[in-house]
Amino acid sequence: MPSPTYQFDQSATAVLQSWAQSVRDTAVSPFAAAQQLARRLGAQVDPDTGQTHFGFWLPHLAGPLFLELLTPLDALDLAAPVQSCRFRRQRFPLTITADFAWAVVSGPRAGTRRQIGDFYWLTYQDDEGHWHTLPDPLARSVPFGVFAPAELYDWRQMLAQRADAGYFQQLDAEMTPAGLPRLAGPTNILQLHVGTASADGTLAGLADHYRSIAAKLAAGQPLTPAEQHYVGYDAVQLMPIEPTIEYEAGPAFWQPIEAAADAHEISVALRRPDMTNWGYDVITIASPAPNPALLASGRPDELLDLITTLHTFPGKPIQVIFDVVYGHADNQALPLLPPQAIAGPGMYGQNLSYRQPMLRALLLEMQRRKSDYGVDGLRVDGAQDFKYWDAAAQELKHDDAYLQLMNDLPQEAAGVRYLPWMIFEDGRPWPRDDWELASSYREITKQLPNVVQWGPLTFAHNTPFLFTFWIGKWWRIQEIARVGSHWITGCANHDTLRRGTQVPLDARVNTYLGATLPEIYRNGYDNPAAKLFDYALMPGIPMDFINASMRAPWSFIRNTDDRWGVKVVSEESRFLDWAVPAPLFARADVFARLKGRGFAERRELRRFMLALDLAVRMTGYHLLGVVRQLNALDPALPGAPFSVPALKEIARDWMDDVHDLCNVARYAADADPARAAFNLAVREFRRQRPFLRQNFAPTDHLAYLQPMDGSVLFYGRRTAPNGEQLLFVANMEGAPRTVAPTALPIPDLPAAGWRLALATPGLDVAAPADPLTLHDSQGAVFTRRD
């Protein structure tokens, strides 16, 4: 492979430097200047000259600073687990102006779908002569993770070749006072964790899965029950796909082999990124790039392919929502971000300095570049965490002005500028002790009427498989009826399912849901009555989680920890009881790594997990103390005697085994046809009646049958603008209850003219006026027209 020599263009760099200085001198405020400067930061190929412009914000470094370009001299295979490669190394001096460093270079090769580009990062020497490197925070491609040099990528060419350009010419949007169209929101949402939502756990695998479904629909072929769980949605929401934290104790994905610091050719040991994560442990660095562990080919084009596949889906396009995490950065970000970007330690790592003008602009630029893939909506994780310290008031305050900037940030796709649909997860005053009682879940929607928030039954603490859950939440359910039009609804998502497996085993579980804890858990989150309630009666935007619908396990996933890994695993001590019945554990491919360590029986692994949890709590997470406690058990645990390194290896194996276990493709053959058909029918019922999203009108009705007599029977009526009436009745929890639907105590309820529209699987409905016995999780919906 040839080794080109690139040229530093001093004249073009001076022009770029002069422009940057002019922006700083003439902008109306430091933040206004930062917004302009942020658009030119990172690595960008000039489409007119072919030169590459590089810009970095480096307020903590004075120089001299260098741009290091690394050109592969050997063929690279981004799908290879392990390889080595020689690189031609060239360094160019960066021109420093105030807090910024610039360079324009002729010749670098940009990556494309079929070509791997050059790699780049910033490098400098400390006072003792040691060389250090820093990655590009705005990188668009990081095939070997954020701690490695980024790949120069021709993102303009990638986006110019998108196959869904026609979609953006027909956007369902409403013009805003700012003169930009704001996309309309979906009727319902399917939440997907890319790493477990398809057989191979990649963006390409998910796109292939949807292409296969689309081909069947186009050919008029029936879908399997498992495939039915992916359709009937207006939108899919991808859990975070930004690069996540990497292995604390190694191995590194980019490891230079011993070479002189000034060598023009270096060899690098390379590993394909294979970290697993539920998505929310981000470093912030390189957030415009897709997580390389989710790319089968290592090419960012996979994300665009998925979006275009969904935008061109047969029948009705499927919108795409990104779940973005800018409310914190993991501690791994500390050596990568300038100190000026960090506000201090927080609950999830490091809090960011949102009031620092350049960081504020940089985060918004990260959002814009990611959204320009052509996203339809954004879900902002942990919006209550965007805070700043008000020195005058001596208190932390919510940075709602920043949330508004996120909401009003334009994006562009296929030449069309528009504003995305916005979701904010905001539970303020969380984490105050009384947050569950005090939160209105409306603080953002009061300020930004176009926004929706996660509703009160959607947050992690909601456990619908416990007795009295539904009646205990009646006050919140009444709120949903009155003001829920701008809430995401539904109790099954990544947070609730994870928290459900941590419920104490002696909790008062709803035994009507099943004979075993796994049955109760699955039936609680994939509950036909709850589906009927959310989709056929209540306001808001229902969201389902594919793992709940497919009845696949779900848990906290993160295999990169060294310091806290054992403690994190100990907190999952009840996972086997809730999510892994004995027949599932008996499968050879389930917990294969831990079985190889001697945990051949479910009861043995369960005993170890419970003992680990107790030892961690007893010792205050003193690992040597934990080891002593476990080694003292009689009879001995499999794998004993343990050591600290052995415990860390077990923790890693647990996370890898659980990640495999949560892949929904493993459960495709087990999908129940009746349940899949019912869930799809319920979704289509709502999509045909968009008025259901709106709050209850004065003529609508919602109540529960009293006296309760051991069951929580909800009933209600909605009236559509076209005069259609809906009658709902369901046993949300408890003993069987017999009622005549048309005799329910609803004011002015017509006695005749009703027709059955929906019934939960297994429910035999005769006539609306006849007695109907409803067991736990059973219900029906009737419709009539005058």
**What pLDDT, in 10s, does the model give residues 760-785?**
999 999 999 999 999 999 999 999 99
In a 3-state reduction of DSSP, which class is residue 439?
coil
CATH of the domain at 745: 2.60.40.1180
Percent pLDDT > 90 in the chain is: 98
Q: Has residue 492 been placed in a domain?
A: no
Which is nearest to 155 in space by CA: 135, 140, 136, 137? 140
Residues 419 and 287 in one domain: yes
CATH of the domain at 132: 2.60.40.10
Beta bridge partners of 759: 780
Beta bridge partners of 321: 237, 377
Residue 3 has pLDDT above 80, yes or no: no
* pLDDT tens-place string over residues 677-725: 999 999 999 999 999 999 999 999 999 999 999 999 999 999 999 999 9
CA distance 154 to 342: 31
Residues 624 and 750 in one domain: no
Residues 235 and 259 in one domain: no
Which residue segment(s) compose the domain that 756 sits in? 695-784
pLDDT value of position 775 = 98
Q: What is the mean pLDDT of residues 106-121?
A: 97
Residues 182 and 264 in one domain: no
CA distance 293 to 409: 28
Sequence-ordered list of residues with C-beta below 8 angstroms from that of 159, at least 6 positions apart, any chain: 304, 372, 373, 374, 413
Residue 63 has pLDDT above 90, yes or no: no
Q: What is the mean pLDDT of residues 76-98?
A: 96
- Site of tokens 């020497």: 125
Q: Has residue 526 been placed in a domain?
A: no
Q: Has residue 436 been placed in a domain?
A: no
* pLDDT tens-place string over residues 652-673: 999 999 999 999 999 999 999 9
pLDDT value of position 244 = 98
Residues 147 and 14 in one domain: yes
Chosen domain end from 401, 429, 457: 429
CA distance 12 to 44: 14
Six token digits for residue 78: 């981004």
CA distance 91 to 499: 50
* pLDDT tens-place string over residues 203-218: 999 999 999 999 999 9
Find out whether the peptide bond into 240 is cis, omega within 30 degrees of 0: no
Rg of the chain in Å (alpha carbons): 28
Half-sphere exposure of 468 (CA within 13 A, CB side): 3
Which is nearest to 189 in space by CA: 320, 310, 278? 320
What is the 8-class DSSP label of residue 98? T
Chosen domain end from 229, 259, 277: 277
Residues 733 and 779 in one domain: yes
**In this structure, which amino acid lies at residue 184?**
A
- Site of tokens 């090769």: 109
Find out whether the peptide bond into 641 is cis, omega within 30 degrees of 0: yes
Beta bridge partners of 726: 718, 783
Q: Has residue 81 been placed in a domain?
A: yes
CA distance 709 to 728: 20
Residue 258 has pLDDT above 90, yes or no: no
Residue 234 has pLDDT above 50, yes or no: yes
CA distance 18 to 632: 70
* pLDDT tens-place string over residues 345-360: 999 999 999 999 999 9
Q: How many domains does the chain have?
A: 4
Sequence-ordered list of residues with C-beta below 8 angstroms from that of 66, at least 6 positions apart, any chain: 91, 92, 93, 94, 122, 123, 124
Residue 2 has pLDDT above 60, yes or no: no
Instruction: Check if the beta carbon of residue 62 is closer than 8 Å to that of residue 113.
Output: no
Residue 733 has pLDDT above 90, yes or no: yes
Residues 215 and 312 in one domain: yes
Q: Has residue 185 been placed in a domain?
A: yes
pLDDT value of position 786 = 85
Q: 379 falls in which pLDDT band (50, 70, 90)?
A: very high
Residues 257 and 286 in one domain: no
Residue 304 has pLDDT above 90, yes or no: yes
Residues 413 and 425 in one domain: yes
Give the CA distances from residue 300 to residues 156, 294, 303, 560, 618, in Å, rounded to whole numbers and listed in that order: 12, 10, 6, 23, 46
Chosen domain end from 635, 661, 687: 661
pLDDT value of position 145 = 98
* pLDDT tens-place string over residues 159-176: 999 999 999 999 999 999
Q: Has residue 124 been placed in a domain?
A: yes
Q: Has residue 444 been placed in a domain?
A: no
Residues 236 and 249 in one domain: no
pLDDT value of position 262 = 83
* pLDDT tens-place string over residues 386-440: 999 999 999 999 999 999 999 999 999 999 999 999 999 999 999 999 999 999 9
Percent pLDDT > 70 in the chain is: 99
Q: What is the pTM of this model?
A: 0.97
**In this structure, which amino acid lies at residue 578?**
W
Q: Please give the mean pLDDT across all residues of the chain.
A: 97
Residues 273 and 329 in one domain: no
Residues 138 and 191 in one domain: no
CATH of the domain at 239: 3.20.20.80
Instruction: Check if the beta carbon of residue 291 is closer than 8 Å to that of residue 244.
Output: yes
CA distance 475 to 365: 41
Q: 453 falls in which pLDDT band (50, 70, 90)?
A: very high
Query: What count of other Cβ atoms lies within 10 Å of the Cβ of residue 723?
Result: 9
Q: Has residue 557 been placed in a domain?
A: no
Q: What is the mean pLDDT of residues 546-574?
A: 97
* pLDDT tens-place string over residues 615-654: 999 999 999 999 999 999 999 999 999 999 999 999 999 9
pLDDT value of position 175 = 94
Residue 4 has pLDDT above 70, yes or no: no
